[in-house]
Amino acid sequence: MGRQKTDGGPLIRLQDVAKVYGTGAANVFALDRINLDIAQGEFVVVLGPSGSGKSTLLNLIGGIDTPSSGSIVVKGNELNGLSEQQRTGYRKKNIGYIFQYFNLLPSLTARENVDLVASLLGRSKRTPALFRELGLENLAERFPGQLSGGEQQRVGIARALVKDPAILLCDEPTGSLDYENGQSVLELLRLINTRKGTTTILVTHNTVIGNMADRVIRLGSGRVAENSVNSSPCPPCELRW
């Protein structure tokens, strides 16, 4: 799949998507009849209480999991139609993931953490340039244990950007950070979105973060309870919580 859209449609389209865990009476509808379009370059914030299906939604879009029914089309390609191998290729090429708990390898420096992913993906190691671009050059030779949470998360973002993904999926990226570090991570994510046009989907419990989004999706019990476009998103530096 190339970087450009070919059909003029949304980058991501979910139609009647359901995800059911378990069988029989123990069924859990993690997602139920989800219909959603996300455009190229949008910064989307997904809100909703615990258990409402937010991570499940990210995992389906990221090709980590498959829906029980319904269709997910990304860049004009139906994910259901992909073989296991093709799905792996889709993830490797298109999807960057950022987690609440950074998941950096503690015995490798920041630079080595990012280099490792570049090697695994067969990409050239452009870590120094990437670190410079993200303002992280001073952190490159430090181990994760020598970095604050916010710094670790920014290295986690650099790691996700090694592949220059079309889609950045962020699951509670500020969930374990204090206000200042959380804000700097949000600023970096918005900067990348603006500079590179990376479509960004950010899951959070923090409703204030919705104010910086181009679109807010609120999930409730696996359904879309709200899907609203924000015509004047506020800069992350103006968010207060």
Q: Which residues bind ligand ATP (CB under 6 A)?
A: 21, 28, 30, 48, 50-56
Q: How far is the CB of 238 from Mg ion (least distance, A)?
A: 26
Pairing relation of β-strands 199-203 and 43-47? Answer: parallel
Per 3-state DSSP, the chain is made up of helix, strand and coil in percentages (nearest 5) of 35, 25, 35
Phi, psi of 109 (to 5 degrees): -70, 170
How does DSSP classify residue 217?
Answer: E
Q: Which residues pair with 223 in a beta bridge?
A: 220
Binding mask 43-62 for Mg ion (x = CB under 5 A): ------------x-------
* In contact, 143 and 137? CB cutoff 8 Å: no
Return the number of the residue (55 or 198) whose C-beta is nearest Mg ion: 55
Return the number of the residue (55 or 199) whose C-beta is nearest ligand ATP: 55
Site of tokens 């670790």: 152
Return the number of the residue (54 or 163) whose C-beta is nearest ligand ATP: 54
Q: How far is the CB of 113 from ligand ATP (least distance, A)?
A: 24
Handedness of CA 227, 233, 234, 237 (dihedral sign): positive
118's tokens: 């570049």
**Chosen from ligand ATP, Mg ion, none, partner binding at 53 (C-beta under 5 to 8 Å by type):** ligand ATP
Q: How far is the CB of 116 from ligand ATP (least distance, A)?
A: 27
**Chosen from ligand ATP, Mg ion, none, partner binding at 30 (C-beta under 5 to 8 Å by type):** ligand ATP
Q: How far is the CB of 56 from ligand ATP (least distance, A)?
A: 3
Binding site for Mg ion (CB under 5 A): 55
